[in-house]
Amino acid sequence: MRRAVVLFTCDLRVHDQPALAAAIAEREQVIPAFVLDERVLAGSAASPNRLSFLLDSLRDLDSSLRARGAGLVLAHGDVVEQTLRIALRFRAQAVYMSADTTPYARERRARLGRACASERIELVELPGPSICEPGALAPKGGGHYRVFTPYWRVWRDAPRPAAAATPRRIPTPHIAPMRAPALRSLARGRPSSGIAAGGETAGRERLQRWLSRSFEGYAERRDELPAQATSRLSPYLHFGCVSAGTMLARVESRAGGEELARQLCWRDFHRQVLADRPDLPRHDYRPRRSRWRRDPAALGAWRAGLTGYPIVDAGMRQLAAEGFMHNRARMIVASFLTKTLGIDWRHGAAHFAELLCDADVASNVGNWQWVAGTGNDTRPNRVLNPLRQARRFDPDGRYVRRYLPELAEIAGRGVHEPWRLPPRERRALRYPPPIAALASRR
Ligand code: FAD
């Protein structure tokens, strides 16, 4: 009997899942498996928001696999030891998995490769989370693309991989029902009350809803803060509940599709930078000899959404409440932390990694460095003025009122400048005065 374990990682779906499809095509029986990796859980991945999303996704994956005659073997511990244990228990001759290029994924791949080889088990890698895998598009001298626009030009014209076949039945040995651990046994605290439900089913429904209701205005409205114009699929893409290729294929031929393709290209762009510069999470991409300020009080106010700048605080409160933040708000709060307060981007990236359901090492660090002026931005000195941003992207103040209940009574755009209210009204607000002047520190 030729059997293979399919090791799921950041590809928690049955549609367009190349590793699953290849194992079914090439082997007689398939054992789908996932390991709650103790090393990942010890880091910021133990964030309650992401763990809650992950557990939802695993339950959903198990039920999709069961509907096809299989099920998910769930283990907990060292990913290499556990994968090998499962392969030996089921007498599998191969392990199939998606390729990945983050520093951690590469180390895992190397360890797993050695462990499999020692047991004469074949390790088979299939295409991973990118539409164009890192290295597939390289500039003439090799390495990676440092600037987005040239990358976008070649990415746009690159051939698209065909979608992997969705299995109807999965031939498998008997797999006992999955017992997911309780969230509280893994997480450091409680998840935010407003996080989205994880899983492929929820992700595909969200994609469908967005395409039929909001996609039309995406290109024009994606920067509008109060509009629900963007897909909010980033956590589903991060965990692979929906493949980026599926999303692209659904929009590419429609009006406005190019703008969405551009955003998915940003995702691949940061992944290819990280693949070539694995030190990116710790070191400046372009060292600018930045002298960051140490200011724990200002950092605390920024984290708590109490800077006195409503547009910044609304973004930070959205993050705390939903484990998500609108892209424009991410840019505003990141610019405020690094350029107005002069605080090191690493503090901001760590806070995002703790709370975002979509926190992804390449996109998080790549975007933080971009905004901080140490990354791939060709205009590293640009500073986003939060007031101008607020007037432009939240002209009536609806986004601010949604997340700052203490300012909910202030009508119209006046909500962006509560310090202009008469002193008595201002004092009644229970909202702090601005913690810093807006002039750039650079
Ligand atoms: P849509 O507008 O619907 O876009 C579709 C998809 O394109 C997104 O789901 C995402 O996968 C991708 N995408 C869009 N913009 C970007 C971008 N600038 N970089 C990379 N991919 C992009 N995105 C993450 O997925 N994880 C992160 O940890 C992350 N951290 C960020 C930190 C900062 C400081 C900034 C400025 C941006 C960060 N982003 C991150 C990018 C972006 O904000 C989110 O991808 C986006 O807000 C997700 O919302 P959406 O799914 O509605 O996006």
Mean pLDDT across 110-115: 98
- Tell me: the pLDDT tens digits for 8-20? 999 999 999 999 9
For residue 441, the model assigns a pLDDT of: 43
pLDDT, tens digit (0-9, with 9 covering 90-100), for 253-272 = 898 899 999 999 999 999 99
Is there a single domain that holds both residue 241 and residue 361?
Answer: no
Joined tokens for residue 372? 């901080």
Residue 177 in any domain: the answer is no
Residue 61 within any structural domain of the chain: yes
How much distance in Å is there from the Cα of 156 to the middle of ligand 1? 18
Residues 236 and 374 in one domain: no
In order of 56, 251, 347, 365, 411, the CA distances from 244 in angstroms are 20, 11, 29, 20, 40
In a domain, 185, yes or no: no
436 within a domain of the structure (yes/no) = no
Say if 105 falls within a structural domain. yes
For residues 13 and 37, membership in a common domain is answered with yes
Q: For ligand 1, atom 20, name the residue with the nearest CA.
A: 267
The 10s digit of each residue's pLDDT in 272-294 is 999 999 999 999 999 876 689 99
CA atoms of 195 and 57, how far apart (whole Å): 13
- Are 138 and 124 contained in the same domain? no
Tokens 């986003």, residue located: 384
CATH of the domain at 121: 3.40.50.620
Q: Which of these three, 71, 102, 128, is where a domain ends?
A: 128
pLDDT band at 184; cut points 50, 70, 90 = confident
Nearest to 175 by CA among 14, 10, 1, 5: 5
Cβ within 8 Å of residue 74, ≥6 positions away: 33, 34, 35, 36, 58, 62, 178, 179, 180
- Using DSSP's 3-state secondary structure scheme, residue 304 falls into helix
On whether residue 115 sits in a domain, the answer given is yes
CA-proximal residue: ligand 1, atom 48 (nearest): 234
Please give the tally of structural domains in the chain: 3
* Ligand 1: residue whose CA is nearest its atom 3: 231
Do 407 and 328 lie in a common domain?
A: yes
Same domain, residue pair 18 and 77: yes
302 with 424, same domain: the answer is yes
Average pLDDT value over all residues in the chain:
95
Judging by DSSP bridges, how do beta strands 3-8 and 94-98 pair with one another? Answer: parallel
Residues 310 and 392 in one domain: yes
Q: How far away, in angstroms, is 266 Cα from ligand 1 center?
A: 8
pLDDT in tens, 151-164: 999 999 999 989 99
pLDDT digits over 117-168, tens only?
999 999 999 999 999 999 999 999 899 999 999 999 999 999 998 999 999 9
Domain finish residue from 241, 276, 311: 276
From atom 9 of ligand 1, which residue's Cα is the shortest distance away? 234
Which CATH number fits the domain that encloses residue 205?
Answer: 1.25.40.80
- Does 54 fall in a domain? yes
Q: Which of 46, 351, 353, 374 lies closest to 181 in space, CA to CA?
A: 46
Domain region containing 367: 296-428
Examine the domain organization and report whether 392 and 342 are in the same domain. yes
Q: Are 123 and 17 in a shared domain?
A: yes
Kindly give the distance from the C-alpha atom of residue 243 to the centroid of ligand 1, in angstroms, as a whole number.
15
Q: Whose CA is nearest to atom 8 of ligand 1?
A: 234
What is the percentage of the chain residues whose pLDDT exceeds 90?
Answer: 88
342 part of a folded domain: yes
Cα 421 to middle of ligand 1, angstroms: 35
pLDDT of 378 reads: 87
**CATH number of the domain enclosing 304:** 1.10.579.10
pTM as predicted: 0.97
Distance 327 CA to ligand 1 centre (A): 6
Is 144 in the same domain as 268?
yes
